[in-house]
């Protein structure tokens, strides 16, 4: 399996991260990745950049050091209605949206509340992927959630940083992705890198993929055409990516 994309990465614009977008792209290039997503935190997180940081990403070239950079954000789920901490005028400009739970903005509630929030986020057509759903403190019915991911065509992330840090217990990841496998859910293998040397490092998540025997055809991180076509179809107000140009 050849992974060509890392679709959840941070730069020093999120002040608990330590590298620039150029440094991230240089490591991505050296590790033969074709795509990374720039997903710094949305503005309500305590150390997030101002919303203008996300809105102004149009000034970046589509490729940096030969790597396609999806202009995106990691948005926070802020309530059970599935609202996100990102203004409408910003979200419409972006090419990749990760939605995640973080305690400062969504303190853990009941499993039913977490599932309700997930269902309502699923109804947001601009959200591409759920970030680190297996983090401790946010239980929910994995089987019911997997059905929602299939119904609404949402991607679920297997997050390297969450596993490495211990925030995700392996048993939770295995249970979620076994449920997703049963329902044919598309998944992404992401580093959630906060330092450039972590870009493209998927060693812990690949162990779980192998244990679950997740079908390669459902792992979007291997499929350049799928990623670019999804961006163009699901984000019509964002800059269109020319496939021919990306292929060189």
Average pLDDT for 50-68: 97
- Report percent pLDDT > 70 for the chain: 98
Mean pLDDT taken over the chain: 96
Please report the pLDDT score of residue 45 as a whole number.
Answer: 95
Average pLDDT for 167-188: 96
Please report the pLDDT score of residue 21 as a whole number.
Answer: 98
Average pLDDT for 145-157: 98
Q: Rounded to 5 degrees, what angle do the CA atoms 19, 23, 28 make?
A: 115
Please report the pLDDT score of residue 243 as a whole number.
Answer: 78
Structural domains in the chain, CATH included, are 5-247 (3.20.20.140)
Please report the pLDDT score of residue 247 as a whole number.
Answer: 60
Please report the pLDDT score of residue 1 as a whole number.
Answer: 87
pLDDT tens, residue by residue, 11-45: 999 999 999 999 999 999 999 999 999 999 999 99
78/94 Cα distance (integer angstroms): 19
The phi and psi torsions of 234 (rounded to 5 degrees) equal -90, -10
In angstroms, the Cα distances linking 115 to 6, 75, 128, 146 are 26, 17, 17, 11
What contacts 3, CB < 8 A, 6 or more positions away?
33, 189, 200, 202, 219, 221, 222
242/228 Cα distance (integer angstroms): 9
Confidence of residue 72 (pLDDT cuts 50, 70, 90): very high
Please report the pLDDT score of residue 53 as a whole number.
Answer: 96
**Over 70: is that where the pLDDT of 150 sits?**
yes
- Select from 100, 101, 73 the least CA-distant residue to 87: 73
Please report the pLDDT score of residue 92 as a whole number.
Answer: 93
Tell me which residue has tokens 């870009």: 199
- C-alpha dihedral (97, 116, 187, 139), degrees to nearest 10: 120
**Over 80: is that where the pLDDT of 245 sits?**
no
pLDDT tens, residue by residue, 180-196: 999 999 999 999 999 99
Tell me which residue has tokens 């950049």: 49
Which two tokens mark 66? 């030969």
**Over 90: is that where the pLDDT of 10 sits?**
yes
Round the CA-based radius of gyration of the chain to a whole number and report it: 16
């Amino acid at each position: 399996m050849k992974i060509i994309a890392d679709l959840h990465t941070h730069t020093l614009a999120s002040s608990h991260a330590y590298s620039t977008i150029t440094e991230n792209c240089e490591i991505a290039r050296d590790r033969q990745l074709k795509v990374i997503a720039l997903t710094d935190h949305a503005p309500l997180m305590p150390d997030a950049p101002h919303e203008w940081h996300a809105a102004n990403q149009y000034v970046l070239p589509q490729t940096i050091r030969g790597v396609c950079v999806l202009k995106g954000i990691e948005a926070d789920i802020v309530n059970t209605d599935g609202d996100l901490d990102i203004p409408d005028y910003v979200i419409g400009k972006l090419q990749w949206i990760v939605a995640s739970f973080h305690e400062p903005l969504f303190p853990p509630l009941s499993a039913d509340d977490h599932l309700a929030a997930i269902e309502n986020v699923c109804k947001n057509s601009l959200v591409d992927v759920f970030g680190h759903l297996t983090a401790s403190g946010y239980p929910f019915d994995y089987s019911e959630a997997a059905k929602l991911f299939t119904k609404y065509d949402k991607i679920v992330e297997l997050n390297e940083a969450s596993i490495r840090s211990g925030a995700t217990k392996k048993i939770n990841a295995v249970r979620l992705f076994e449920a997703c496998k049963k329902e044919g859910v598309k998944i992404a293998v992401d580093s959630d890198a906060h330092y450039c040397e972590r870009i493209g490092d998927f060693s812990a998540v690949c162990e779980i993929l192998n244990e679950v025997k997740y079908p390669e055809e459902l792992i979007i991180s291997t499929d350049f055409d799928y990623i670019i076509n999804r961006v163009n179809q699901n984000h019509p107000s964002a800059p269109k990516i020319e496939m021919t140009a990306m292929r060189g």
